[in-house]
């Protein structure tokens, strides 16, 4: 039996899209700082003019899933990281936004086969959000760690060590279909869609 596990090394070739909801920017900017710090300390070039990380700013959390899905389906990225903050108010707006954002982000990952990291805080108060964005700890760091681990894991799962962006190469698919790999999910390589 083979064990596949992500790592936090060999990150130089991973590509990331970070989708950031601008609303509640005091919190979100701190999450972004934590995320960037983690990626940088693990060998990722976070320079926006570099070739490893692209930043997508959207108005609020509700818009995150659409852009995350488009980024994932572009096949330019190994991982999409979604950052935002939805803070409960006195109306049911929180419930609608938080629920739809979580469903949309999960759907983007499931449909594309690319890891889409849920880094959206959903808190009852601003104080709780600030605690999670740097006062007690910065969950932006954790979201980046999840992205590193999933990016390296999916490279193994999808490309059997050689391909990225949620796709098997034709040679890898041939190996899977020929039974050279114990257990795998093989895509329909003729249409580039996961089956």
Catalytic entry in 41, 93, 103, 136: 93
Q: How far is CA 158 from CA 117, 127, 128, 140, 190, in A?
A: 18, 41, 38, 26, 16
Distance CA 181, CA 174 (A): 10
- Sign of the C-alpha dihedral computed for residues 33, 11, 73 and 93 taken in this order: negative
Taking a C-beta distance cutoff of 8 angstroms, is the pair 57, 120 a contact?
no
Residue 72 near residue 80 (C-beta atoms within 8 A): yes
User: How far is Cα 52 from Cα 115, in angstroms, rounded to an integer?
Assistant: 16
E strands along 6-164, which residues? 16-21, 53-58, 79-87, 116-123
Q: Two tokens at 84?
A: 């935002």
Q: Please give the Cα distance from 19 to 61 (Å, whole number).
A: 9
Instruction: Answer yes or no: 93 catalytic.
Output: yes
Q: Which two tokens mark 3?
A: 């064990």
Query: Which residues are known catalytic residues?
Result: 93
């Amino acid at each position: 039996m083979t064990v596949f596990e992500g790592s936090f090394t060999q990150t130089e070739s991973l590509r990331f899209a970070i989708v950031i909801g601008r609303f509640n920017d005091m919190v979100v900017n701190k999450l972004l700082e934590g995320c960037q710090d983690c990626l940088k300390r693990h060998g990722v070039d976070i320079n926006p003019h570099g070739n490893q990380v692209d930043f997508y700013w959207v108005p609020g959390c509700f818009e995150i899933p659409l852009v995350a899905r488009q980024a994932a389906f572009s096949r330019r990225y190994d991982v999409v990281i979604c950052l935002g903050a939805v803070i409960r108010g006195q109306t049911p707006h929180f419930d609608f936004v938080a629920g739809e954002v979580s469903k949309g982000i999960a759907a983007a990952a499931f449909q594309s086969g690319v890891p889409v990291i849920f880094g959206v805080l959903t808190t009852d108060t601003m104080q709780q959000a600030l605690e999670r964005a740097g006062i007690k700890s910065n969950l932006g760091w954790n979201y980046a760690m999840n992205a590193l681990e999933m990016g390296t894991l999916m490279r193994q799962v999808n490309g059997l060590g050689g391909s990225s962006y949620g796709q098997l190469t034709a040679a890898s698919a041939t190996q899977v279909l020929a039974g050279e790999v114990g257990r795998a999910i093989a895509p329909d390589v003729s249409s580039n869609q996961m089956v």
